[in-house]
Structure 1
Amino acid sequence: MSKRNTSVAKREARERLRAERERQAKREKVRRQAIVGGSALALLAVAGGVGVAVANMGGDSDNTDWGAVRTQIEDGGSGEFAADAPANTSGEDGLTIRIGEEDAANTLTLFEDPRCPACANFEQSIGDSVHAGIDDGTFAVEYVFGSFLDDRLGGSGSKNALTALGAALDVSPSAFLDLQAALYSEEFHPAESSDAFADDERLIEIAQEVPELEGNADFEAAVTDSTFAVWALQMSDKFDAAPDVSGTPTLKYNDEVVDVPKTPEDFAAVIEANSVQP
């Protein structure tokens, strides 16, 4: 073997050894994290229950001081957070999200919480039917979002997801609908006890499934800068003040509460039975 070949062989051997050491170091790091994580969960279980501990996981990347947002609202709106509503909204403080034909004879109002598993089930089974009704002019849809699961379970995933939905709505109604569908999809919707939506980067990652939001710097900045945090809390307040709404999802059709349908056929029957002819 020539000196050159010997040198190459030695260099390749050193590279293989270095790569193996890096793999071993990564495996050791994962093992240590698992031990530490398990110990932390055990301590949290003793202190306040594993449920609360799990609810708070994934929330380290939420840059919003929600207490400061609430104080700003109570003080009349002046503070560090923007008070603007997203584009494509209407009503007082931009808290009406109405999507569909402006003069639609019928209105479906959906009350949802982004972390709600029952809402995810509804959207996965009935969401396409809702969108079809919007498209063919059968009804317009008004969305009202709450964040009561953050209060009940701990964390800020509902509020943070709502800021992302506001940022999508600021782009277009179709971007909002597509992001809402993605957040509630079987692929991306977390367990109720998880606070995964508190992670800004996770929301941005999910938004890459939406063509209008993929690589959209303005949308991503609105999420990470908490541009619509004030609006999100005001929307949650609107949810809390809504009459005849005690859980999610709640459906109102022409302002009357209707049973939550389980299948597209059930939904079609509800719409047919309660629609006003134009």
Structure 2
Amino acid sequence: TALVAGAFGFPGGARNNASNPVEALSSFCTTGNFRPNHGNFLPQATPAPYSIKVVSPTGDMYKPGQAVSVTIQSNGASTFKGFFMQGDATEASFAGELNCPGFGHQVTFCGRSGITHSDATPKTKVQCRWTPPDFQIGKVQFTATIVENFSIFWTGVKSEAILSPDPTSMTYEQKSLQVREQLMGQLQQGASSLVNRLQSQLGPNGIARLFDQSQKQGQSNIPGVVNNLSSWFGGQGQTSNSNINSNSNQRRQNSNAFAFGGNTGMSQYQQFFGGQ
């Protein structure tokens, strides 16, 4: 049974569920069932008078770096005021990057693969552009919630076209290994730089003396060593540690954004790599 989450209706587009962002993330970005919180009104049970047209330069495939045209359009004279659309991939929660210049803006709870309307003016067509990531994410289909007015809307409107990955592009597993290796290399480089700095400040045996001192003080852990660094450097140790943590976090976020086509946060990165 798919979870259906609610969000308050806004003229400027869908917003995160501030009271429960985890629910918003899990529902909106994995089921495609974005239901506007329009009082007691429910989604229409009839077929939507709208469709999602997908045109790829490579036919029924997507290739890294090649933009795909994605258009929400009316099948007749009906207009719509709002929409929420996302790329839904079989092997990733966040599928590439969606942009609708002049019509919509990206939402914060679906990486860069979710987009919503910028205003509530009636429209018959919204033209968007989807840019796939540089690795395979399985088959991709586009799903939308389309709002005709406050009381009439449709959820789970899907594109007829389903795009398949270019078989010659990097696989999901290859990309995860590449990012992991890059991250480990950056962390090792940072650790090596720290050790070299400590040795230059403390001398060849300074680090060993630092750990010995921490052991004698009953602080046989990293915070204890950092405290001793502060005393050795006159407070510089703690500052250095803070800077190192900050730089390390930034590197992890950069690697995460590189892999997912957007800054999806460290929780998604950890989930992607099994909590590592």
For normalisation by structure 2, the TM-score amounts to: 0.22
* Structure with the larger RCO, 1 or 2 (CA within 8 Å, 6+ apart): 1
For normalisation by structure 1, the TM-score amounts to: 0.22
Structure with more of its chain in helix, by fraction: 1
Structure with more of its chain in strand, by fraction: 2
